[in-house]
Amino acid sequence: MAIVELPAKAHRALPQTSGAIVHKGQQTKAAIVDAALGLATQIGLEGLSIGALAEVMRMSKSGVFAHFGSREELQISVIREYHARFEEEVFYPALEKPKGMPRLKALFQNWMNRTSVEIDSGCLYISGAVEFDDRPGPVRDALAGSVQTWLAAMYRAVVQVKEAGHLAQDADEHQMAFEIHGLILALHYEARFLKNPGSVARATTGFANILARYGSAP
């Protein structure tokens, strides 16, 4: 039997068609994740469902499911997207500042800016911790891993402040990073849950007090 070959033009067209399909699929998945992230910040990761997301996207359940394969994978995709946006808004801009006090202050200010927005929309790290603190599994691992990555970056920034000579030599870097993290957690609780006015200003004052207590230069 003779082998029938496709014309040269047909050979070139196949990858282009396939590439267009893949690109469209990636765009659709990105749109689904974006919608899922919006839902998750309001109702929590546990509240996400393929059915609810399909309704928001005006897609079939099978169409949404095909992009993830499971509700668990959908939740993990949302965590990854949230973390990517967190880094883009908080971490990477601060890297443009010199190591030491300028970078630490930028990290905290960027974190405060994002937190101020999330007072209305909700923080996935905080709500997710409440939902999955005692539920081992891939979703909890993805969430905890994202938080640990960020806290490790904050700790490195504190260490660099000490190395630059802006902290007392006996300053405890772990304790200082812990207290800075505690300010953000307190801010979410005070502002989002209790609706106490002036919470943002008090968090800013708290950060200044931490710097002063650990011996930073004015």
The model's pLDDT over 99-127, given as tens digits with 9 standing for 90+, comes to: 999 999 999 999 999 988 888 878 899 99
Q: What is the average pLDDT across 3-9?
A: 38
Whole-number Cα distances in Å, 104 to 54, 136, 174, 213: 42, 33, 14, 15
Number of domains in the chain: 1
Q: 83 lies in which domain range?
A: 14-213
Within a domain: 28: yes
Within a domain: 158: yes
Within a domain: 5: no
Identify the band that residue 22 occupies on the pLDDT scale cut at 50, 70 and 90.
low
CATH number of domain containing 83: 1.10.357.10
Within a domain: 29: yes
131 vs 216, which has greater pLDDT? Answer: 131
The model's pLDDT over 159-214, given as tens digits with 9 standing for 90+, comes to: 999 999 999 989 999 999 999 999 999 999 999 889 999 999 999 999 999 999 99
pLDDT at 217 over 70: no
The model's pLDDT over 63-94, given as tens digits with 9 standing for 90+, comes to: 888 888 899 999 999 999 999 999 999 999 99
Residue type (1 letter), 194: L
- The secondary structure of residue 44, as a DSSP letter, is -
Give the other-Cβ count within 10 Å of 211's Cβ.
21
The model's pLDDT over 130-150, given as tens digits with 9 standing for 90+, comes to: 999 899 999 999 999 999 999
Within a domain: 126: yes
In contact, 112 and 186? CB cutoff 8 Å: no
Give the other-Cβ count within 10 Å of 203's Cβ.
22
Within a domain: 218: no
Within a domain: 67: yes
Within a domain: 1: no
Identify the band that residue 11 occupies on the pLDDT scale cut at 50, 70 and 90.
very low
pLDDT at 23 over 70: no
* H or E stretch covering 29: helix 8-43
Identify the band that residue 20 occupies on the pLDDT scale cut at 50, 70 and 90.
low
What is the model's pTM? 0.82
- The dihedral through the CA atoms of 115, 117, 123, 125 has a sign that is negative
Q: What 3 state SS string does 79-112 have?
A: HHHHHHHHHHHHHHHHCCCCCCHHHHHHHHHHHH
